[in-house]
Amino acid sequence: MKRIVFALAVCVSALWPLSSQAASEEEIYAEVENLLGDAAGLDPFLNELRRALVTGTAKDVAKLTAFPLPVNNNGTSFDVKSAKEFEKNYARLITKATKELVASADYTELFVSSDGVSIGNGAVWIAPVCDNQSCSKSHWALVSVNN
């Protein structure tokens, strides 16, 4: 079911550039707060993810990732079950193109849905992940990769 939701979100995000006008930073922020909560946590996490992807290591990115991580790699879908597996397959999972898309994505180009925030037309998805059963505490994480 999780893969279906992300596949649908990726398809919807592909249509995003077809809208007549990009959303402002304020509108994106409001949409994140309305649909996901913790909009204040988005900027610090996004900056940390960008730093990890551009100048960090596989281990740095793995620390920012929720597992199992759904991956769609050239039409093949699978889950990466652990940080160790992620680090071992990092070069295949996080391509140079993916790094560049995330690093260069403008805040106003983000696509927000109830599933999370799409960066680079669905190249990666980030979202708040619950830290407890009631979800009264959460943290932002990389939740899907699509190459």
Distance CA 119, CA 111 (A): 7
- pLDDT, tens only, 26-79: 999 899 999 998 899 999 999 999 999 999 999 999 999 999 999 998 889 999
Helices (H) and strands (E) in the chain, counts: 7, 6
> Quick one: pLDDT at residue 22?
63
Amino acid at 104: S
User: In angstroms, what CA-CA distances link 111 with 22, 92, 116, 125?
Assistant: 10, 25, 8, 9
Which structural domain range is residue 28 located in? 2-15+23-146
Q: Looking at residue 91, which CATH number applies to its domain?
A: 3.10.450
Say how far apart CA 138 and CA 84 lie, in whole Å: 23
Extract the tokens encoding 58: 């596989």
What is the mean predicted confidence (pLDDT) over 8-13? 42
Nearest Cα neighbor of 19 from 6, 28, 32, 29 is: 28
Based on the structure, what is the number of domains in the chain? 1
Mean pLDDT over each residue of the chain, to the nearest integer: 86
* pTM recorded for the entire structure: 0.82
> What DSSP assignment string belongs to 85-107?
HHHHTHHHHS-HHHHHHHHH--G
